[in-house]
A = this chain, B = another copy of it.
Amino acid sequence: MVTITDIAQALGITPSTVSRALSGSTRVKEETRRAVQKKAQEMGYERNVVAANLRKGRSNIVGIIVPRIHREFFSNVIGGAESALNDAGYHVLICQSLETRDAEIKALKTLRNYSVAGVLLSHAIESTDGSHIPEILGRSIPLVQFDRVFPDLPGAKIVGANYDGAFKATSHLIQQGYKRIGTLAGYMSSQAYVERLSGYRMALESANLPYDKSIVFSDTIVRETGYQACIKALEAGCDALYCAGDFCALGAIDLLKEKGIRIPEDFGIVGTANESFTALMFPSMSSLGQHPFEMGQAAAKAFLEGRTDTQVIPMELHIRQSSNKNNTWQK
Contacts and interface: CB of A to CB of B under 8 A. Distances in A.
When all copies of this chain in the complex are counted, the total is 2
Contacts of A109: 46
CB-based closest 3 A-B pairs: A282-B282, A75-B75, A70-B79
Given A50-B50, A95-B91, A78 B82 contact: no
Interface in A46-92: 46-51, 53-54, 59, 61, 68-72, 75-76, 78-80, 82-83, 86, 91-92
B69 A79 contact: yes
Contact of A75 (B69, B277, B282): B69
A79 B50 contact: no
Interface residues on A, range: 35 or more
A78 B66 CA distance: 13
A96 interface: yes
16 contacts: A46-B109, A46-B112, A50-B50, A50-B114, A50-B115, A69-B79, A69-B82, A70-B80, A70-B293, A75-B78, A82-B94, A82-B95, A82-B96, A91-B114, A277-B280, A282-B283
Given A70-B75, A78-B94, A93-B92, A50 B53 contact: yes
Contacts of A284: 282
B61 A83 contact: no
Contacts of A292: 70
Nearest to A253: B280
A250 interface: yes
Given A46-B113, A50-B54, A96-B83, A69 B59 contact: no
A110 interface: yes
The listed residue with most B CB atoms (<10 A of its CB), out of A47, A51, A75, A98, is A75
Interface centre among A46, A86, A115 (most CB of B within 10 A): A86
A86 B82 CA distance: 20
Nearest to A68: B79
A281 interface: yes
